[in-house]
Amino acid sequence: MFSRPVPWLPAEGDAALITVSSRIRLARNLVDLPFPGRATVEQRRRILAQASAAAAGIVAAASRLIVSEMPDLTDLERQLLLERRLISRDLCRMGAGSGVLLAPDEHISVMVNEEDHLRIQALLPGLHLRAVHRLADDVDTKLSRCLPYAFNERLGFLTACPSNVGTGMRASVMLHLPGLALTGQIEPLMRGAQELSFTVRGMFGEGTEAVANFFQVSNQATLGESEDQTLGRLDAIICRIVDAERVFRQRLVRERREHLYDQIGKAYGSLRYAHLLTSKDAMNQLSLLLLGCDLGLFHNLRRGPLQELMIRVQPGHLQKLAGKTLEEVPRDVFRARLVREKLGNMADA
Amino acid sequence: MFSRPVPWLPAEGDAALITVSSRIRLARNLVDLPFPGRATVEQRRRILAQASAAAAGIVAAASRLIVSEMPDLTDLERQLLLERRLISRDLCRMGAGSGVLLAPDEHISVMVNEEDHLRIQALLPGLHLRAVHRLADDVDTKLSRCLPYAFNERLGFLTACPSNVGTGMRASVMLHLPGLALTGQIEPLMRGAQELSFTVRGMFGEGTEAVANFFQVSNQATLGESEDQTLGRLDAIICRIVDAERVFRQRLVRERREHLYDQIGKAYGSLRYAHLLTSKDAMNQLSLLLLGCDLGLFHNLRRGPLQELMIRVQPGHLQKLAGKTLEEVPRDVFRARLVREKLGNMADA
């Protein structure tokens, strides 16, 4: 499990340089049962069993649904699921009766008894909001045939937190915005998005800081507009952000070329010869290398392997590769060796 | 002028890894004339003329004595003289009647009308205090035949500052002490040296901060002991510092290997791929590469060219190489390119 490439990383291509992935998350709850925060372990376990049974019925015969209750997962497995963006930080910390259902291709996952009974997630590379919505919607429709959803004609889907009531849909796009970040444009972007009732967050969602210039833009409103309207508005704002990112990258190249090349060059040099690397440093510097690739500064580095490396340097993936638990310093040493080797191989290629 | 290698940089060899150069500076004044700070421009010019005539008489016929009055030197030339340690920062700022006499091999220079009428300097690579003293003493003896020195039977040589009265000799050894610096041992070293009436200073002497882990150790006392005693005591303390430096380098390798390799690796990576480099950053990082060489970490880098590069990255040498005056940012760009190329050539060798 999890040795294969991360399925939500985009293939190389122009638009993919900025729009990393599109995600839909649908919050659903079952009628006549308390929300997970108030349910007993017995109730939560029954919900997990019901959800698993319903999901098993809709998975193609050839593939296999992975069902895990949180206590059955090791720390490393939870960490891997988090790093691959298949579960939330909150679910990581949950116990008996909470779990995850996972399609083997990792495009679909369902968190069970996180904040809501079900959180159906679909995740695709690139900017493909309609496609990823169809994927989530299809699972949702099929599950709804077996599971009695809590739905109110006037309000829509009922959820544990009022902020999700209505469509229960959170659509988000992950963007790589080094151009805006290096020119101090993230604050204005956040304020502007807020005014249109969108939120800009770090890579791992709510409450996480931005790492490596990756930002997720998602809708706040789930009430008063249809899924289709939300997706249309999100698509439009993403296109404007992508345009702005392009403009600010060009401006950086035009007006601060030497500073930019210096930052990218030193990031490369540091990664290529480090013997100790924190996850955060590695990701931040790899982000600059991605930018360097986009700007055509590197002959021998390719975007795909760098993106993949950015996932592999995270603690879970790193320890999986090492085949054992590693304390912080040995982990930083191992990470530095991995990065040196990978960049060395790319440079030799 | 000044395109040749710096003559006081040591050839490769074990002791030279730590002891960079030995220097003697003799303060001398002429009788019946006010010290430079109180002399008129006329008096200062006459002293410069006298000193030049006396020095010309002792230079071998084949070579040529370079005599420069400070106002005749461009900013760049002063800067070059300073970076090659042939004149002091104070002399750089002085005007009419102050100047420098320079033997073409750069082992001997005489500053005229700096703080004293004459400051005779001899400079040799490595730890060779007796040899460098003979060099200075020889010039001093020959000059004394033509120039009436201010000398008191009881006090010795008279000088503008009482701290130099007596022998008028300042003997100093420049040391490369990354092992002590990286382990926080410079403060204790300074205190210990002080107790034995020695001073520890940065690369460019009094009032300059330490750069690139280079430190000069020199005697404070010029009264109450002979030149020979001073040299003997200095030689002894230098040997103790060199031993300590070796011990702390070994300790670093033993106890903080990954941190050390990380610092040296990142310094290399940063220099190898920078597009903007300040003089200070370049020198500090080259200092770590020198340490890496000493520890045998590099296959393709050699100490000699790195030491030479450390001089070449300084503003004067850099602008001489560029063949024009450069403002700060273009200078940092040019410096980064020079370092990238030099390290690239070494890596390819």
Q: What integer pLDDT is reported at residue B80 of this predicted model? A: 93
Across all residues in chain A, what is the average pLDDT?
91
Spatial CB neighbours of A294, under 8 Å, sequence gap ≥ 6: A17, A249, A303
Report the gap between the CA of B139 and the closest CA in chain A (Å): 49
Two tokens at A348? 């030799």
pTM of the model: 0.85
ipTM score above 0.85: no
Alpha-carbon distances of B276 from A104, A264, A266, A290, B23, rounded to whole Å: 48, 11, 10, 20, 34
Q: Which residues of A touch B266 (CB under 8 A)?
A: 269-270, 273-274
pLDDT at A210: 77
Model confidence at A205: pLDDT above 90: no
Question: What is the 3-class SS of A135-159, one letter each residue?
Answer: HHHHHHHHHHHHCCECEECCCEECC
Minimal Cα–Cα distance from A241 to chain B, Å? 29
Residue-wise pLDDT tens digits, A45-97: 999 999 999 998 887 655 678 899 999 999 999 999 999 999 999 999 999 99
Residue B349: predicted pLDDT: 64
Q: Do A265 and B258 touch (CB under 8 A)?
A: no
Give φ, ψ of A115 to 5 degrees: -75, -35
Task: Report which secondary-structure segment, H or E, holds B346.
Answer: helix B328-348
Residues of chain A that touch chain B, judged by Cβ-Cβ distance less than 8 Å: 258-259, 261-262, 265-266, 268-276, 329, 332-333, 336
Amino acid letter for position B2: F
Residue B63 pLDDT: 67
Q: Which residues of A touch B274 (CB under 8 A)?
A: 262, 265-266, 269
Helix, strand or coil, per DSSP, at residue A30: strand
- The type of residue at B218 is S
**pLDDT above 60 (res A235):** yes
* Least trusted range by pLDDT, from A6-20, A195-209, B36-50: A6-20
Q: How far lies B129's CA from each of A55, A273, B106, in Å?
A: 85, 39, 17
Q: What residues in A contact B261, CB-CB < 8 Å?
A: 275
Residue of B nearest to A257 (CA): B275
User: Over the stretch A122-176, which tens digit does the pLDDT of each residue have?
Assistant: 999 999 999 999 999 999 999 999 999 999 999 999 999 999 999 999 999 999 9
How far is it, in rounded angstroms, from Cα B215 to Cα B175?
A: 5
DSSP-based three-state secondary structure for A131: helix
Query: Residue A208: is its pLDDT beyond 70?
Result: no
Q: Using CA atoms, how far apart are residues B15 and B303, in angstroms rounded to an integer? A: 13
Residues of B with CB under 8 A from a CB of A: 258-259, 261-262, 265-266, 268-276, 329, 332-333, 336
* pLDDT tens per residue across span B38-52: 999 999 999 999 999
Q: Do B262 and A272 touch (CB under 8 A)?
A: no
3-state SS string over B226-288?
CHHHHHHHHHHHHHHHHHHHHHHHHHHHHHCHHHHHHHHHHHHHHHHHCCCCCHHHHHHHHHH
**Residue A309 has what pLDDT?**
93
Q: Which helix (H) or strand (E) holds B120?
A: strand B118-125
User: Nearest to residue A176, comparing CAs of A346, A300, A5, A15?
Assistant: A15
Q: What pLDDT, on a 0 to 100 scale, did the predictor assign at position B220? A: 93
Query: What digits encode the pLDDT tens for the residues B295-319?
Result: 988 888 888 889 899 999 999 999 9
Which among B260, B275, B281, B289 is the top mutation candidate for probing chain A, defined by the most A β-carbons within 10 Å of its own β-carbon? B275
A307 pLDDT above the threshold of 80: yes
A93 burial type by CB count under 10 A (0-12 exposed, 13-18 middle, 19+ buried): exposed
Tell me the pLDDT tens digit for each residue of B106-123: 899 999 999 999 999 999
| pLDDT tens digits along B8-25 | 777 665 555 799 999 999
- Which residue among B270, B272, B275 sits closest to A261, beta carbon to beta carbon? B275
Q: For residue B176, how many C-alpha atoms fall within 13 Å in the half-sphere facing its CB? A: 28
CA distances from B189 to B174, B177, B201 (A): 14, 11, 11
In our burial notation (b when 16+ CB lie closer than 10 A, e otherwise), range B7-28 reads ebbbeeeeebbbbbbbbbbbbb
Nearest-CA distance from A333 to chain B in Å?
7
Buried b or exposed e, range A157-170, using 16+ CB within 10 angstroms: bbbbeeebbbbbbb
Residue at token pair 């006549």 = A32
* Predicted local distance difference test score (pLDDT) of residue B184: 93
- In chain B, which stretches have pLDDT less than 50? none
Closest-CA residue of B relative to A272 is B269
Q: How confident is the model at residue B208, as a pLDDT? A: 64
